[in-house]
Structure 1
Amino acid sequence: MKNTLRFKRFIKSLLTLIVFGQASVYAQPAIQWDRTFGSNGREYFESVKQTPDGGFIAIGHSESGKSGDKSQAGYGGTDIWIVKMAADGTKQWDLALGGDQGESNGYIELTPDGGYIVGATSTSGVGPIKSQPPYGTDFEEMYDYWIIKLSASGTVEWDKTIGGPRREFLKSLKPTKDGGYILAGVSRSPIGNDKTKAPLAYPNSYDLWVVKLSSSGEVQWDSVLGTDNYDDGGGYIEQTSDGGYILGGYLSVELNYPGDYYIAKLNQNGALQWEKTYGGPDYDQLESVLQTNDGGYLLGGWSYSGIGGDKSEASNYNSDYWIIKVDANGTKLWDKTIGAGLPTDNSDEVNNVSQLHSMTKTSDGGFLLGGSSYGSIGPDKSEPSRGKEDFWLIKIDANGTKLWDKTLGGIGNDDMNSVELSADGGIILGGTSNSTKSYDKSENSYGGDDYWIVKMAPENPPLPQNPIRINAGGPEFMTATKKLFIADKYYAGIDRISSIATGDIPNTSNDILYQSARCSPSFSYNIPVPNGEVTVYLHFAETYFGAPGKKGGKGSRQFHVNMEGVRKLTNYDIFAKAGGAMLATAETFTVNVTDGMLNIDFLTGAADLPRVSAIEVLPSPQRTLTFAPEEDATVRDGIYQNQNFGSDPLLSIKGFNGTPRDLQRVSYLKFAIPGITNVKSAKLRVYGKNHENMEGVTLVAGGVLDDSWTENGITKANAPYALNPAAEARVQVNSEMKYRDLDVTEFVRLQAAGDKVVSLALSTGSIRLLNFHSKENPSGFAPQLVIVTDNTANQVTRLGSESEEASESNTALSSVIYPNPAKDHIMLEVSSGHKSEVDLELTNMAGMQFQLQRPETEDNSTRLKVGLPGQLQAGMYLLKVQSREFSEVLKVLVTE
């Protein structure tokens, strides 16, 4: 047995190597476009963000004059340089910000009014843009935080210089939930000017310095954090879900001291709640910190350390990405070291540097890690270096397991500083590049270092286009419906098959598949597939126990089946499940594959040996489809009840609750969903916020059965009635501008089975005004209906139903209900596709089931009179009609 397990591991490892390249290619998102922005000097990129109009805005600093993409002359020294792009990366405008000396770095975030807040480090005096002088008393100490508020078009609205008597360097800036801003960086100033807290470090050493600003840029409080015996660096800050802050940095900037990661948790007023350090035996530098969905934190940076201290894995040759997961109190849960192989152009370890600079959360609970790497393939890097230093993007799951990685670059040096998700589910990357047009870089440089922006498609790994079908224990075989089962392969373990020469197998026209089988005490199938969900279909027939001339029956064969290490069948009895010997049966499973290999293990159970006749592995049949509204409009009550607001850029929602009826507003949306069947889930997505304050307000979505309304004709006076929403069709809306998702699955499922048009009404019981983008909004971010369909039943080979009778049942007309609307009973005309007795099940839109009275047969057996329960409230209900042949769902509207 031990040798069998060793052989199985060897086979899996070998097959993993064979398909690794193919599987990783499937997993990586594709490049949609890339853009190079620069001038005649040097530009150093810092970050890129998506804008409300669907475009992007990039920031960094520039040493260039007016040339290339830079439309303004420099102000003196280096300037902050901003580039605004359209959705396709085309430059729309650029802006230089600076003073008579120098500005460096550059950080930008969106503000609730559609504008921007910009932060930088400045050494300049007063204007033309900078309105305040530096705080330092001599030239060497004139380094301050500089904050600039811009309009959506890039006009300067105000600026603030923030600092102490000596040096400050800004490292991050974020908007806060109260409309203000939080700044973080380092300072070596004593108390004075904006700095109210004494330094912790000895003279000339740096502390972490956090400053909270109001919405107008006024200092509200500041905090000094870090260590008291050596330098602190960084200053990466995020607001946490409790209204406080998490601050990240690192120790030992200028001293000859091994560095460590440092994080501090602050409350909403800047008071320290706890602080922690993490490190290995050598130098480690934190570059990013995120709060995770479980309330803990992910720390990311780079490390030269081997195993020791908090580091459980050694670095590969030189520096590597190092990530640490901690809980809500800072207790370490795990750490991961992710590194590359030696550069192909230089075997010296010195050049093998991989450094993480940016992280972001993904919608599936994982993370994207962005930085740069000089190394080649291995240990964690799947693609070779393009030239020298490259962008290196890595996707990990919530537990730190690497899912895929992507190398991007040109022939020169490309250093990624920023990774963000885009509104379309894709990824936007940015960094500094001196590469010419080569490899992944489609445009030439301007002669020095430039901004390089890369847009990647949504991460949606394609699964196999052709199903994998295996005739276990038998030869290649083509079914009557032209489905090819390949000869037995991908198996490991005890090699034994069982077969019979002849024998009729009821329930199928493909007897040959069941006349042979793989059957031994322990065996497995290790099938190479790209990562993701697959549908696995196992075919069985008991051709020995209970077969003609053989003893035994129920209980004679019982075995286990595991998939991806998880038990799927326990003491499975083919005879019992199929209803006897020589009968075909099957089991279907959905399995998530994460390592490029589907593992199916057949293990001995309570009796005799495991047995399988055929295996099918099909790509997940789920599809995600996004629909834009054909019509949307707001209706208002009171004096506005006859007025149409169909062309407004906003969909507004406001409750009544005793306020003047003139203020009440409800919004309607209509989507056409032609051809949609088998709805697995459906979400209405609307982009907006609570317009009046920061509190959370409940937004609800109700289904509308009357689709005759029009965008330019609907008013409150003629608006159709909306059904009461299900509990899931509700979401909290606060002052944060973002997409909100409402689960409308049940109503969309009903409409997909009917007229293929979905009308929905948005309302609230609150007196607070909620505003969302309509399809006419010039900034984009229109409403969306996102539907996931699942056609598993249609894709799996129905080997037991390949007959004329089954074909007829699938194409039969659906059953008919009348009267509809109904009051106390319905008449059900049963479809001719139902050959056997039907079962009826009545459910409301919230999922509650109701007991139906026993149907009465009318003049023939296909017409039933069904009494409705007396306690039914008026509304929409779903009637499920099910027989052995098939099931269908019909909608019933009940009136009072």
Structure 2
Amino acid sequence: MKHMGRAMVLLLLLAAACATIAAAGGARPGPPPTATLTPAVPAPWTLPSSNTPLSPPRAASPAALSVVWEKRFDNNGKADLAADIVETPDGDLVVVGVTGPTPCLLWCNTDGWIIKLNARGELLWARQIGSGQADSFNSVTLNGNHYWITGTRYVFPYGYQAWLLEMAPDGSVVWEKTFGGNQDEFVVETIPTPDGNFLMTGRTVSFGVQDGKGDVWLVKLNPNGEIIWSKTYDLGAEDGGTALTSWGPNRYILTADTCTADCRSILTPHVFASYLVLDANGNILKTQTFNEGPKNKFGSIIPTRDGGAVIVGGTSMQETFPSEDAWIVKLDANADVAWMRIFNSRGRYDGAYDIVQMPDGNYVVSAYSQVYQTPEMNFDNFWIMRLNSAGEDLWSRIWGGPDNDDPVSMIRTSDGGIVAVGFMDAVSWPLDKIPGPSDFYVIKMTDTQALFLPCVFRDFR
């Protein structure tokens, strides 16, 4: 789904955790543990008295969205970061991410965390699953009425492995598997394919050409989680897949980032973005690279109603490096660039995470912005904007507290609403190994003639 997409958020988290584990050593974990029920207690967010709107609400805009409900979920005081969401056939919501201790000292025991909500945002159950190493979930999709959840799991002595589990509606694990070689593999997204199978993408260090210690990795799986085929794509340096979508009959578009310098840095990596158009067997039909400026990163891609696609991410094309802006790239029905939009008047570090298309052809984008308008709005802030079909800004809101607040993934629901998930109050993100304390954050929105957000906001319409 997913300054970077949900993929890069969790990859950075895992990379930092890996460094501490490698330094400390460790033993190979035993048999995979059974799912552990860990109740999450929603903690309502009360607006601090010092937080006042930066400007009064304007007259209602036809493009405005209003909040239906918003919730936060805490796993017993841990650092909790939501990465993806899916709606179930019965209208419930499944949210996946990572949970870990705060602070992270010598041993970073992160686990995957899954919560299930009803359509009103009420908690039905929660599961914490992991090996006691550095594990996380970052993608969820449906396999019938079951949930396919993918992420990354640390397995000594190999390092990180792709991790896939199938979960029943009651939260019980049907089966789980890991994939990989003798080095690190990271998975960022899994999608269903028209033929009833699945595609999984990410980055591999074990396989491929390895010009830069990593290649884009694409794996096709059958409904039992068995590998049908696996491919790697070398883009010339340290490469990784970031998002994937079905596109037309038996075609896919895969987005990727390639780091060419300073790749371990949070703020100053030199990165270029690419997309690859693939046939049903993973063969490349077309590629396009964006290397203007030192930093261009793709976060998410969706097909559009006109037969094209749209990609979101972050770029420093129009900023002084390492600053970056939210970036939208629209592709036409031939997978050529139809238009690009860069939103460069918000904060110092901005970027888009995810996008959905509305029935009227407009778009809603989940993003983050470091606007630094008041002490109460430091670091990343939630940013939701609505664009017309040409990518022009119709309406937007930025809000948040003094710590990092990021809406990492977003979906349209069967009732016409929009649900975004991410995390709130990540104190140290992304400067330290594990952010915290932070909570899963889930907000449901809908079209309306008025907007109310119980927090600091700024209107940029």
CA drift at 1:23: 4.3
Is residue 420–residue 442 contact of structure 2 (8 Å, CA) maintained in 1?
yes
Give the aligned partner of residue 385 of structure 2.
Answer: 394
Specify every segment of 5 or more residues in structure 1 that has no aligned partner in the other structure, as ranges: 1-18, 66-74, 126-138, 191-198, 307-313, 343-351, 378-382, 437-445, 463-594, 597-896
Q: Does 1:271 align with 2:271?
A: no
Q: Where do residues 175-186 of structure 1 align in structure 2 (5 Å cutoff)? A: 175-186=192-203
CA drift at 1:428: 0.7
CA drift at 1:375: 1.1
Is residue 194–residue 250 contact of structure 2 (8 Å, CA) maintained in 1?
yes
Is residue 341–residue 376 contact of structure 1 (8 Å, CA) maintained in 2?
no
Give the aligned partner of residue 117 of structure 1.
Answer: 148
Give the aligned partner of residue 357 of structure 1.
Answer: 353
**Cα distance in 2 for residues equivalent to 1:143 and 1:317:** 29
Q: TM-score, normalised by structure 2?
A: 0.76
- Residue among 280, 296, 315 paired with 1:303: 315
- Residue among 445, 448, 451 paired with 2:437: 448
Is residue 111–residue 132 contact of structure 2 (8 Å, CA) maintained in 1?
no
Q: 1:210 to 1:304 in 2, by over 3 A?
A: same
**What code does the residue aligned with 1:124 have?**
V
Q: Does 1:287 align with 2:283?
A: no
For 1:205, what is the secondary structure of its paired residue? coil
Q: Does 1:406 align with 2:423?
A: no
Q: 1:409 to 1:422 in 2, by over 3 A?
A: farther
Is residue 372–residue 378 contact of structure 2 (8 Å, CA) maintained in 1?
no
**Cα distance in 1 for residues equivalent to 2:166 and 2:371:** 40
**Cα distance in 2 for residues equivalent to 1:268 and 1:120:** 24
Give the aligned partner of residue 206 of structure 2.
Answer: 189
Cα deviation, 1:674-708, whole Å, max 9, x if unaligned, reads xxxxxxxxxxxxxxxxxxxxxxxxxxxxxxxxxxx
- Residue among 108, 126, 145 paired with 1:94: 126
**Cα distance in 2 for residues equivalent to 1:84 and 1:102:** 23
Give the aligned partner of residue 82 of structure 2.
Answer: 45
Is residue 35–residue 89 contact of structure 1 (8 Å, CA) maintained in 2?
yes
Is residue 171–residue 185 contact of structure 1 (8 Å, CA) maintained in 2?
yes
Q: Does 1:215 align with 2:223?
A: yes
Is residue 69–residue 443 contact of structure 2 (8 Å, CA) maintained in 1?
yes
CA drift at 1:103: 0.8
Q: 1:97 to 1:397 in 2, by over 3 A?
A: same
**What code does the residue aligned with 2:327 have?**
W
CA drift at 1:265: 0.9
Q: 1:165 to 1:281 in 2, by over 3 A?
A: same
Is residue 165–residue 173 contact of structure 2 (8 Å, CA) maintained in 1?
yes
**Cα distance in 2 for residues equivalent to 1:403 and 1:385:** 26
Q: Does 1:318 align with 2:323?
A: yes
**What code does the residue aligned with 1:392 have?**
W
CA drift at 1:288: 1.2
**Cα distance in 1 for residues equivalent to 2:122 and 2:364:** 25
**What code does the residue aligned with 1:85 have?**
L
**What code does the residue aligned with 2:326 have?**
Y
**Cα distance in 1 for residues equivalent to 2:404 and 2:436:** 13
Q: Does 1:201 align with 2:210?
A: yes
Is residue 395–residue 405 contact of structure 1 (8 Å, CA) maintained in 2?
yes
The farther-off stretch of 253-262 and 356-365 is: 253-262
Q: 1:340 to 1:24 in 2, by over 3 A?
A: farther
Is residue 221–residue 270 contact of structure 1 (8 Å, CA) maintained in 2?
no
**Cα distance in 1 for residues equivalent to 2:299 and 2:150:** 17
**Cα distance in 1 for residues equivalent to 2:172 and 2:261:** 38
RMSD: 3.0
Cα deviation, 1:598-648, whole Å, max 9, x if unaligned, reads xxxxxxxxxxxxxxxxxxxxxxxxxxxxxxxxxxxxxxxxxxxxxxxxxxx
**Cα distance in 1 for residues equivalent to 2:372 and 2:72:** 24
Q: Does 1:237 align with 2:244?
A: yes
**What code does the residue aligned with 1:360 have?**
V
**Cα distance in 1 for residues equivalent to 2:200 and 2:260:** 20
Q: Where do residues 3-18 of structure 1 align in structure 2 (5 Å cutoff)? A: none
Larger Cα Rg: Structure 1 or Structure 2? 1
Cα deviation, 1:845-874, whole Å, max 9, x if unaligned, reads xxxxxxxxxxxxxxxxxxxxxxxxxxxxxx
**What code does the residue aligned with 1:62 have?**
T
CA drift at 1:178: 2.3
Is residue 77–residue 100 contact of structure 1 (8 Å, CA) maintained in 2?
yes
Is residue 242–residue 300 contact of structure 2 (8 Å, CA) maintained in 1?
no
**Cα distance in 2 for residues equivalent to 1:201 and 1:160:** 25
Cα deviation, 1:710-761, whole Å, max 9, x if unaligned, reads xxxxxxxxxxxxxxxxxxxxxxxxxxxxxxxxxxxxxxxxxxxxxxxxxxxx
CA drift at 1:371: 1.8
CA drift at 1:389: 2.2
Q: 1:428 to 1:253 in 2, by over 3 A?
A: farther
Give the aligned partner of residue 253 of structure 2.
Answer: 246
Is residue 103–residue 124 contact of structure 1 (8 Å, CA) maintained in 2?
no
Give the aligned partner of residue 14 of structure 2.
Answer: none
CA drift at 1:142: 1.7
**Cα distance in 1 for residues equivalent to 2:301 and 2:324:** 19
**What code does the residue aligned with 2:93 have?**
F
Higher relative CO (Cα under 8 Å, sequence separation at least 6) belongs to 2
**What code does the residue aligned with 1:122 have?**
R
How many residues of Structure 1 are paired with residues of Structure 2 in the alignment? 382
Q: 1:26 to 1:298 in 2, by over 3 A?
A: closer
Is residue 411–residue 435 contact of structure 1 (8 Å, CA) maintained in 2?
no
Please identify which structure carries the higher strand content.
2
Q: 1:222 to 1:369 in 2, by over 3 A?
A: same
Specify every segment of 5 or more residues in structure 2 that has no aligned partner in the other structure, as ranges: 1-54, 264-268, 428-434, 451-459
Give the aligned partner of residue 162 of structure 2.
Answer: 145
**Cα distance in 1 for residues equivalent to 2:321 and 2:418:** 28
**What code does the residue aligned with 1:52 have?**
P
Is residue 166–residue 175 contact of structure 2 (8 Å, CA) maintained in 1?
yes
Is residue 340–residue 373 contact of structure 1 (8 Å, CA) maintained in 2?
no
Give the aligned partner of residue 434 of structure 1.
Answer: 425
**What code does the residue aligned with 2:66 have?**
A
Q: Does 1:22 align with 2:58?
A: yes
CA drift at 1:25: 5.2
Q: TM-score, normalised by structure 1?
A: 0.40
For 1:27, what is the secondary structure of its paired residue? coil
Cα deviation, 1:82-132, whole Å, max 9, x if unaligned, reads 0111222111101122124221242111222x110000111136xxxxxxx
Q: 1:315 to 1:289 in 2, by over 3 A?
A: farther
Is residue 211–residue 219 contact of structure 1 (8 Å, CA) maintained in 2?
yes
Give the aligned partner of residue 341 of structure 2.
Answer: 336
Q: 1:63 to 1:254 in 2, by over 3 A?
A: farther
**Cα distance in 2 for residues equivalent to 1:103 and 1:253:** 27
Is residue 28–residue 406 contact of structure 1 (8 Å, CA) maintained in 2?
no
CA drift at 1:408: 3.2
Cα deviation, 1:273-326, whole Å, max 9, x if unaligned, reads 1111123222111111222222222121001122xxxxxxx6799311011122
Is residue 419–residue 428 contact of structure 1 (8 Å, CA) maintained in 2?
yes
Q: 1:91 to 1:111 in 2, by over 3 A?
A: same
**Cα distance in 2 for residues equivalent to 1:76 and 1:22:** 46
Q: 1:24 to 1:302 in 2, by over 3 A?
A: farther
Cα deviation, 1:47-67, whole Å, max 9, x if unaligned, reads 1222233221111011149xx
